[in-house]
A and B are shown apart, each in its own frame.
Chain A
Amino acid sequence: MKAKALRDAFGEALVELGRENEDVVVLDADVAGSTRTKMFGDVYPDRFFNVGIAEANMMNIAAGLAACGKIPFVSTFSFLACLRAGDQLRTSIAYPRLNVKVGAGYGGLSDSFDGPTHHSLCDIAVVRSMPNMTVVVVSDPNQTKKAVKVVAAYDGPVYLRLSRAEVPYVLPEDAPFVLGKGNLLREGSDLTLVVAGVPLARTLEAADRLAKEGLQARVIEMPTIKPIDREILVQAARETGAVVTIEEHNIMGGLGSAVAEALAQEAPVPMEFVGIKDTFCESGPYDALLDRYGLSVDDIVAAAKAVLGRKS
């Protein structure tokens, strides 16, 4: 299957965006070659600021630029964006609701070989609990390009979780990207798989395996974690009676929690959570880490069977 690194899709999208909108500026903290914002910097050097290894500073500079009408995309590794510069993001961007877009590179385990220091498994939990923040997790190269355009057009702060990983073109090319809307990728009535980010391909594979065993899994891809699409979730819970969430994040505080919060109020059903089980991981090949730390196709299938066993 044709594939592209999501960071490349991000870099290309920024260049297109820069051409369409002169107010777009890009900041990076000495990882522009890695996050691919260098592509923007090469074409629009006047609108590109490499601030050096100073993420906190970068976040606040972006806040000031936004306060004067610019549309800044700040780019760094996601663990730095949400933790090193977390107070800056909360106090100077989320609180005054400034129009800054955080391009959170190297999400999840995608910087796999660099190890736990560079893995990012709590970012969604952190940023999701900041009022005014919109949180987006992309899963596909085409979607990444669309998401960059959509979040740029949206007036408000957005955390856009990206990935270093090469990812297959899973979604139909004409699939829309709408903030706050989940995508129904596959109909099914026995249970629902809700997935965000790179594990989408694995989730679809798990759904295929379940289908071979006669179990029809509905698959919802949920690129906006906040605000979450309650409507599609409640309908799925009512119609299928069981939900499994799949995410490249600690099972605490991420997509699974967001789905559980939505369903607990309106349509409580048995749930299982596929993700990193509250542990630090280790260095290694990306796919090997996903398999070892709870995100294998087998893990998704097992969670589906477990949740079906609890379905009344």
Chain B
Amino acid sequence: MSSQELIQDLKERARQLRRDVVEMVYRAQSGHLGGSLSAAEIVAALYFHQMRIDPQNPQDPNRDRFIPSKGHAAPILYAALAARGFFPREDLWTLRQVGSHLQGHPDMRKTPGVDMTSGSLGQGFAAGLGMALAGKLNGQDYQVYCLLGDGELNEGEIWETAMAAVHFKAHNLIPIVDFNKVQLDGPVSEIMPIEPLRAKWEAFNWHVLEIDGHDMNQVVEALAEARRLDRCVVIIAHTVKGKGVSFMENRHQWHGQPPNEEQYRRAMEELGGGQE
């Protein structure tokens, strides 16, 4: 596949993931859309290109790991895992229902392909650091990718981890900030501002790659660059909350609200046709 074909393929993957996310949350009438849609390109690039994973062997000790530290973005992870064949796509329609292996937030003991239980904000990044340290101790070359929410950066533990990762030279830990500018109660700039964000990470001795998180070329290149560099690298991905569905974009009301039938139809129309 040429690099141009790769990018086209990944863009299409991201679109399909978005469709599955909306479908899932609509059917469940529960779940987090905004922060799933903002991460579609990042998750597509990881699961369909960057990460070394084998759906037939989800517990492979040498696999790359992915932790949505912003665990409420579970729908986008589940959509990617299903698309990669970790479990049947039909399972997606059981999200958040009794008996389903798809919990409201990721559960490593229930869902094939989920590397860490997460969802209580601030914790997944540190667990990722632990995984990165284990890899270093064992002489394994896997990478650990953590998706951080911008609102999540309000949590003090994130900065404890940022400090510790540099101290322990965990260069195999790659945080990606889904900087969609909106948290549950409103704009990040009003609720608890995190700017200047680049300067904050740099002050913690991180190398910062700042990208448009919806430009697949930039996402793919940044992930490759982060893996190549032998130092602590953070990717700050500028994104749009609710990306891809016009009436959800940039609106905090769509952080955790399911669409009604009419909204669902409009959303699916905007996202374009399905595979079938």
Contacts and interface: CB of A to CB of B under 8 A. Distances in A.
Interface of A: 25, 46-47, 49, 51-52, 54, 56-57, 59-70, 72, 87-88, 91-92, 95-97
B157 interface: yes
Q: Classify chain B's interface size.
A: 35 or more
Contact of B129 (A61, A72, A97): A61
Contacts, number: 109
A65 B132 CA distance: 8
B53 to A, nearest CB: 15
Pick the 5 closest A-B CB pairs, nearest first.
Answer: A64-B130, A60-B126, A68-B134, A57-B160, A64-B127
B65 to A, nearest CB: 8
B137 A47 contact: yes
B163 A52 contact: yes
A47 B163 CA distance: 19
B161 to A, nearest CB: 5
Contact of A61 (B107, B115, B127, B156): B127
What DSSP secondary structure best describes chain B's contact surface? helix
Contacts of B168: 49
Nearest to B116: A67
Interface string B98-115: 000000000111000001
Interface string B121-148: 0111111111111110110000010000
B119 interface: yes
Interface of B: 61, 107-109, 115-120, 122-135, 137-138, 144, 156-157, 160-161, 163-164, 167-168
A60 B157 contact: yes
Contacts of B128: 64
A96 B134 contact: no
Nearest to B122: A56
Given A60-B123, A67-B116, A96 B107 contact: yes
13 contacts: A57-B126, A60-B157, A61-B127, A64-B116, A64-B127, A64-B129, A65-B133, A67-B115, A68-B131, A68-B135, A69-B134, A87-B123, A92-B120
Contact of A63 (B122, B130, B132): B130
A33 B88 CA distance: 52
Contacts of B107: 95-96
Contacts of A59: 126
Given A96-B108, A96-B109, A57 B131 contact: no
A59 B157 CA distance: 11
